[in-house]
Amino acid sequence: MADEKPVDKSASSSSSASPRPTAAQPADKRVKDIFEKARQTVKPIINREASNETVTEDLLNFRMK
C-alpha cells in the first residue's frame, strides 16, 4: 500500500509489547490514526475474502460421488 510505512524487521519487541507515542502526539490520537490507515490497508483483503463466500449455481450443482 502506498501509504503504509515500511516494516522494520529488526524492531521485534522481546519482552514487553507497548506502544511508542511521541511526546507531541497522545497515544489515543496516534492509535486512531493507525486505525484509519489500517482500514485502507486491509480493505482489499476484506473484499477478496468476501467474494469467496459468494455462492453460485455452478458451485451448488457440483456433485460428489
15 part of the interface to another protein, by CB under 8 A = yes
38 part of the interface to another protein, by CB under 8 A = yes
Reported as half-sphere exposure (CB side, CA atoms, 13 A), residue 38 has a value of 6
CB of 54 to another protein, least distance (A): 7
25 part of the interface to another protein, by CB under 8 A = no
What phi-psi label fits residue 54: left (phi over 0), alpha (psi between -120 and 50 degrees) or beta?
beta
13 part of the interface to another protein, by CB under 8 A = yes
55 part of the interface to another protein, by CB under 8 A = yes
Which residues have a Cβ under 8 Å from the Cβ of 4 and sit 6 or more positions away? 37, 41
Site size with another protein, rule: CB under 8 A: 46
